[in-house]
Amino acid sequence: MKLPIPGQPVRGSKSGQPIMALLDLLGRNWAMGIIWHLYNGPSTFRKLQEYCESISPTTLNKRLKELKESYLIERTLEGYVLTEQGKELFELIEPLGGWARKTWAKNFEKPRS
Protein backbone atom coordinates (compact mmCIF):
# COMPACT_ATOMS: atom_id res chain seq x y z
CA MET A 1 0.00 0.00 0.00
CA LYS A 2 1.51 3.32 -1.01
CA LEU A 3 1.76 6.38 1.18
CA PRO A 4 -1.42 8.47 1.05
CA ILE A 5 -0.53 11.91 -0.29
CA PRO A 6 -2.90 14.88 -0.45
CA GLY A 7 -3.98 15.58 -4.02
CA GLN A 8 -3.57 11.96 -5.14
CA PRO A 9 -6.26 9.27 -5.06
CA VAL A 10 -6.48 7.47 -1.70
CA ARG A 11 -8.80 4.93 -0.10
CA GLY A 12 -12.25 6.48 -0.13
CA SER A 13 -11.39 9.51 -2.28
CA LYS A 14 -10.48 9.76 -5.94
CA SER A 15 -9.71 13.46 -5.48
CA GLY A 16 -7.26 12.86 -2.63
CA GLN A 17 -8.61 15.63 -0.45
CA PRO A 18 -6.08 16.28 2.36
CA ILE A 19 -8.49 15.09 5.09
CA MET A 20 -9.10 11.84 3.19
CA ALA A 21 -5.36 11.24 2.75
CA LEU A 22 -4.86 11.86 6.48
CA LEU A 23 -7.72 9.53 7.44
CA ASP A 24 -6.31 6.86 5.12
CA LEU A 25 -2.93 7.12 6.89
CA LEU A 26 -4.41 7.19 10.40
CA GLY A 27 -6.71 4.27 9.60
CA ARG A 28 -3.80 1.93 8.97
CA ASN A 29 -3.01 -0.70 11.59
CA TRP A 30 -1.31 0.80 14.63
CA ALA A 31 -0.76 4.29 13.14
CA MET A 32 -2.91 5.97 15.79
CA GLY A 33 -1.51 3.74 18.53
CA ILE A 34 2.04 4.79 17.65
CA ILE A 35 1.08 8.47 17.63
CA TRP A 36 -0.81 8.06 20.93
CA HIS A 37 2.19 6.37 22.55
CA LEU A 38 4.75 8.87 21.26
CA TYR A 39 2.79 11.79 22.68
CA ASN A 40 4.08 10.61 26.07
CA GLY A 41 7.68 11.03 24.92
CA PRO A 42 10.43 9.34 22.90
CA SER A 43 10.31 5.62 22.36
CA THR A 44 12.63 3.02 20.91
CA PHE A 45 11.58 0.46 18.32
CA ARG A 46 11.56 -2.22 21.01
CA LYS A 47 9.35 -0.17 23.36
CA LEU A 48 6.94 0.56 20.53
CA GLN A 49 6.81 -3.14 19.70
CA GLU A 50 5.98 -3.95 23.33
CA TYR A 51 3.32 -1.22 23.42
CA CYS A 52 1.69 -2.45 20.22
CA GLU A 53 1.76 -6.06 21.51
CA SER A 54 0.71 -8.06 18.46
CA ILE A 55 2.44 -5.95 15.79
CA SER A 56 5.01 -7.67 13.61
CA PRO A 57 8.42 -6.03 13.16
CA THR A 58 7.65 -5.68 9.43
CA THR A 59 4.40 -3.83 10.06
CA LEU A 60 5.96 -1.60 12.71
CA ASN A 61 8.82 -0.71 10.36
CA LYS A 62 6.36 0.08 7.59
CA ARG A 63 4.16 2.24 9.83
CA LEU A 64 7.16 4.13 11.23
CA LYS A 65 8.41 4.78 7.70
CA GLU A 66 4.98 6.06 6.60
CA LEU A 67 4.64 8.32 9.64
CA LYS A 68 8.16 9.70 9.09
CA GLU A 69 7.47 10.32 5.38
CA SER A 70 4.26 12.09 6.42
CA TYR A 71 6.19 14.47 8.71
CA LEU A 72 4.39 13.25 11.86
CA ILE A 73 7.31 11.50 13.58
CA GLU A 74 11.09 11.62 13.39
CA ARG A 75 14.01 9.58 14.64
CA THR A 76 16.30 11.16 17.23
CA LEU A 77 19.10 9.90 19.47
CA GLU A 78 16.43 9.20 22.13
CA GLY A 79 14.27 7.17 19.72
CA TYR A 80 11.15 8.01 17.76
CA VAL A 81 9.36 11.24 18.66
CA LEU A 82 6.42 13.23 17.36
CA THR A 83 7.26 16.25 15.24
CA GLU A 84 5.53 19.55 16.02
CA GLN A 85 2.91 18.60 13.40
CA GLY A 86 2.51 15.20 15.04
CA LYS A 87 1.94 16.82 18.45
CA GLU A 88 -0.57 19.23 16.95
CA LEU A 89 -2.41 16.35 15.29
CA PHE A 90 -2.55 14.42 18.58
CA GLU A 91 -3.94 17.46 20.39
CA LEU A 92 -6.67 17.78 17.75
CA ILE A 93 -7.59 14.08 17.93
CA GLU A 94 -7.32 13.54 21.69
CA PRO A 95 -10.65 15.31 22.47
CA LEU A 96 -12.31 12.96 19.98
CA GLY A 97 -11.12 10.05 22.16
CA GLY A 98 -12.76 11.63 25.20
CA TRP A 99 -16.00 12.20 23.31
CA ALA A 100 -16.00 8.60 22.05
CA ARG A 101 -15.49 7.29 25.59
CA LYS A 102 -17.87 9.62 27.45
CA THR A 103 -20.64 10.15 24.89
CA TRP A 104 -20.66 7.80 21.95
CA ALA A 105 -19.79 4.57 23.83
CA LYS A 106 -22.70 5.12 26.24
CA ASN A 107 -25.09 4.35 23.36
CA PHE A 108 -23.90 0.77 23.48
CA GLU A 109 -24.36 0.33 27.23
CA LYS A 110 -28.16 0.31 27.04
CA PRO A 111 -30.32 -2.18 25.14
CA ARG A 112 -31.59 -1.02 21.76
CA SER A 113 -35.29 -0.64 21.33
Q: Domain holding 33: CATH number?
A: 1.10.10.10
Please provide the average confidence, as pLDDT, over all residues in the chain.
Answer: 93
Helix (H) or strand (E) holding 60: helix 57-69
Query: Is 81 part of a structural domain of the chain?
Result: yes
Structural domain span for residue 70: 18-102
6/110 Cα distance (integer angstroms): 40
Query: Is 9 part of a structural domain of the chain?
Result: no
Query: Is 10 part of a structural domain of the chain?
Result: no
Per-residue confidence band for 44, with pLDDT thresholds at 50, 70 and 90 = very high
Query: Is 39 part of a structural domain of the chain?
Result: yes
Considering its fold, how many domains does the chain have in total? Answer: 1
Per-residue confidence band for 110, with pLDDT thresholds at 50, 70 and 90 = confident
Number of neighbouring beta carbons within 10 Å of residue 86: 21
Per-residue confidence band for 95, with pLDDT thresholds at 50, 70 and 90 = very high
Query: Is 68 part of a structural domain of the chain?
Result: yes
What is the pTM (predicted TM-score) of this model?
A: 0.89
Is residue 56 scored above 90 in pLDDT? yes
